[in-house]
Amino acid sequence: MHYQDERTSGCRVSDAWTYRGLKTVILENELVRVTVLADKGADIYSFVHKPTDTEFLWRTPWGVRDPRYTVPSTGDPVSVWMDYYEGGWQTVVPHGGYADRVYGADFGIHGDMNTIPWDAAVVEDTPGRVSVRFTAKSVRMPMAVSKTLSLVSGSPVLMVEESVTNEGEEDLDIVWLEHIALGPPVLSDKSRLYLPECRVLSHPESIDPNSKLEPGYEGDWPNVNAKDGSVLDFTRIPPKADRSLDMAYMTGMSEGWYALLNEETGLGWAVSYPVDVFKYLWYWRNYGGGYGYPWYGRCYNAGLEPCTSFGNGGIAQAQENGTALNIAAGETVSVTINAGPFTGTGKVTRVDGEGTVTFE
């Protein structure tokens, strides 16, 4: 039985939904509606700004699939994950990056918390505030993860309070990635990307035949060298006709935040996060250039993803370059992330720890 208050105004929450066979939780208030796939990694599948009916999170062309009704045709550790990648926002723990073997365990790409069901419990349900706590444990490493999502009345900002606990009896390295993928309409060639002063690193090698960035580049934000000798301004978003696919990483920020503003519509998306834990911001630039499986030239999206570590090679690579996050036996690492839409014009100069955007 469900005894949640079925309000029609203020903050609302319900865990009584199912979408394509998956248990789904919906949080909303006057300004935003957030849809979470509890049965699939507690992924934030949808983030809608109600006044403008705008979806901020990108969705793959194949969308949500119920794994109970699909048998993977191969055991490839990349394909199995991609087959079920619906877009949106994943909490990637304990292994962010491509497949590898660590501590004697095989990890597929971005494994393994976002491919399993999470428990969900409504912990606050009032017109002024709603909160849902999602919890799960990694299959192949003794990491317990808790993620509480909260909305307050009158605010478009989603508060995400997360913790990762090492339940093992040995210290362990992890890579923790918040895999946030944005798409149209907020993403367009009329959009600008704002960050604090930082360094930009391109991937050590080209990740795709359509990669445009000079491999192994390092320099000050926002300019990045391209392979053809030109200089790219990362504040500007290319159109889909750019047909590029690249990975870059921003680091050295004094504060953790970014804002993407569509200057044509005046609608933007902002995220703030603790830079002492997430020392890198991964930038997945899929601007129409992904050909072959699984994109086939169909996709136009940007991943702007706070991460503990450098490079998408997983834990072993992060251990080698000294950027893995070590969690001692029995210890917990906790973070608070604030994310949501905003409106305005001009240059964004800051997003504070509560997700409030400041313009010049």
Query: pLDDT at position 99, please?
Result: 93
Taking residue 12's Cβ as centre, other Cβ atoms within 10 Å add up to 20
Tens-digit pLDDT profile for residues 147-177: 999 999 999 999 999 999 999 999 999 999 9
What would the pLDDT profile of 285-315 be if each residue is shown by its tens digit?
999 999 999 999 999 999 999 999 999 999 9
Please report, in angstroms and rounded to a whole number, the separation of the first and last CA atoms in the chain: 51
Phi, psi of 13 (to 5 degrees): -150, 145
Q: How is 189-230 classified by DSSP, letter by letter?
A: TTEEEE--S-EEEE-SS-SSTT--BPTT-EEETTEEEBTTS-
The answer to pTM > 0.95 is yes
Domains of the chain: 12-359 (2.70.98.10)
Q: What pLDDT score does 33 carry?
A: 98
The pLDDT of residue 70: 83
359 by DSSP, 3-state: which? Answer: strand
Q: What is the pLDDT of residues 106-124, one digit of tens each?
A: 999 998 999 999 999 999 9
Which pLDDT value is given to residue 2? 65
CA distances from 84 to 41, 59, 291, 317 (A): 11, 11, 18, 25
Nearest to 287 by CA among 226, 212, 175: 212
Residue ranges for the chain with pLDDT beneath 70: 1-2
Tell me the backbone φ, ψ of residue 85, rounded to 5 degrees: -80, 110
| Residue 192 tokens, joined | 């600008």
- What count of residues does the chain have? 360
CA 277, distance to chain mean position in Å, is 15
